[in-house]
Every structure is written in structure tokens, then in C-alpha cells.
Chains A and B, each alone.
Chain A
């Protein structure tokens, strides 16, 4: 009988805010791991290292101008190497490990294909915090979520009677996969598409979840027409409230 490989992998998320969101189960996985690979805010990574000294940051694999897919490949290889060495491995990724993070899904699939035990544990994501901080119930009018660049690269059907949440808005339109923030011109293309369904003066909000409790969420409202020049950073999310009423059938 073939013996099942010994290594195992769990991808977990510590939530968004240091110390506030981590589940007991996630903490236990981290503390009992042979090695913990982390991709989180530096503060959270430093904290996770207090839970398990065998914590290794994946941040050094990123570099300005480096193709992000190369970074993801290296993350994948690094994590899999430890699994293949028979270690109990935890991958710990900012917020929820499976939301807007492709490496955890990818590495879990690979580990399973190679016969290792691998699974994901949910964490509190930016989406969860957004609903709480902005007082939005996605069930009230409905809520569409898109990766912002997908609106530029693909035909997507918008429903302006529902909330529209655009993730990774700071990178909207970037095809280089090497930048941290897209250009005004790239973002203006997104604005032009949104203007098909929303008026130029429609109020939208940029939302950012803090990563430590002493800071407040960033919630700033401005007209849609100002989006191309508005200050954004890689963790910004755009929230567009409904512009029309739901139409009865």
C-alpha cells in the first residue's frame, strides 16, 4: 500500500485587524505549525511571529517592476517545498486567505494533487469589515462585486439599482502586472465605462480597512467624475451606491 505523504498544508487568514479578528482555530493552526508563511501587513506579520517563531514573510518576493506572476510562482514553490519536506505548513494571508488572493487556492490544489492533506480556513475579509464600517446590508438592494480591471478588460453587466463594489481599484486598467497604482489615463477609462450607468456627480466612496485597532477606517465620499485623480492606494476599495430604484416586474 502506498503511504500517504506526511506533509500538510492549511491556508488561514488572521482577519484584517491585528488581534481583533483571528479565530481560535486559526491561532491554533499557526502555533502548532512547523513553519508559517505569511503575506500580511508588516505589523500583522510581526505579531504572527510572536505566535510561532518559525514564521517566514513572503514580502521579500515582491519587487517594484517585477512581474507579479513571478512572485506568485515563487510563493507557490516556497510553500510547496516545505510541504514536500513533510512539514506541517500554514500559509497565512491577509484577511480571508481565499478572497482576492490566488496563491492560497493554487497551492492547496497542487498539494492535494500530490496527495497531501490541504485545506483553507476562512478569515474576516475586507468585505466583511466594509459592511460593518459603512453600514451596508448587501441583502437590501443587492451587491455586485468585481475586480476593477475586469470592467475594463471584459464585458460585464452592471445593475445600477444594486451596490457596486470594485476591488483593487488602485490598479484598475493596469496590464503590466508590475505596478502598485495605475495611471490617471487607465483609471479614466474605467470612469468612462461607469458613466454609461451612473451620473458624473454620483457620490462614490473609497474604503480602506485599518490593520490596527488604533486607526479608523478610511471612508471618503466624492463624485464619480473625480475617480481618475482621487488618491488611492493598493488596499483601496470603491463603493458605488445604487443610482436607480429597483424596477418592479
Chain B
């Protein structure tokens, strides 16, 4: 099983445990995690004073049909 497949299993299966991995799997996993730590991923963010798309960000005006919404 690849390191990514192991990570997927650990995420999806509540009974999956790192301690159940073989030595080879464990080593591959640790190597992969270390590689990921060295990549400084940029994540898409929201700008505090963004003007694009300006008008479209405004909440829509409540309509008569919205009166009974929580």
C-alpha cells in the first residue's frame, strides 16, 4: 500500500492504526510526511479589502419569501 493510500485509510477508518503498519509501510509513511512538511503550500485565502468581484459579494436583499426563514 502506498503512503497516500495509508493516509487515506487512516483518515477514513477509525480502527486503522499506525502501529498496525509493517516496518516498510511505516518507513514509507514517515518519509512521505517529512516530504510534505518541507513543502510550504500556499492556500487560497480571502483578501480583507477585496474589490473583486465587489458588488457580487453583497448579501442579497431579503425578499418577501424570506420572512419565515430562520
Contacts and interface: CB of A to CB of B under 8 A. Distances in A.
A102 to B, nearest CB: 5
Chain A: interface size category: 35 or more
Interface stretch (A15-23, A128-136, A157-165, A241-249): A15-23
A109 interface: yes
Interface string A5-34: 000000000000111110000000000000
Interface in A18-62: 18-21, 39-43, 46-47, 50, 58-59, 62
A102 B47 contact: yes
Contact of B8 (A47, A58, A152): A47
Interface string B37-59: 00111111111111011001100
Interface in A194-246: 212-214, 234-235
Contact of A19 (B7, B18, B47, B49): B7
Nearest to A173: B48
Contact of B7 (A47, A59, A150): A47
Contacts of A39: 43-44
Contacts of B57: 105
A232 to B, nearest CB: 14
Interface in A52-109: 58-59, 62, 68-69, 72, 75, 93-94, 100-103, 105-106, 109
Contacts of A106: 52-53, 56
Contacts of A214: 7, 10, 18, 29, 33
Interface of B: 4-5, 7-12, 18, 29, 32-33, 36, 39-50, 52-53, 56-57
Closest 3 CB pairs of A and B: A19-B11, A20-B11, A149-B48
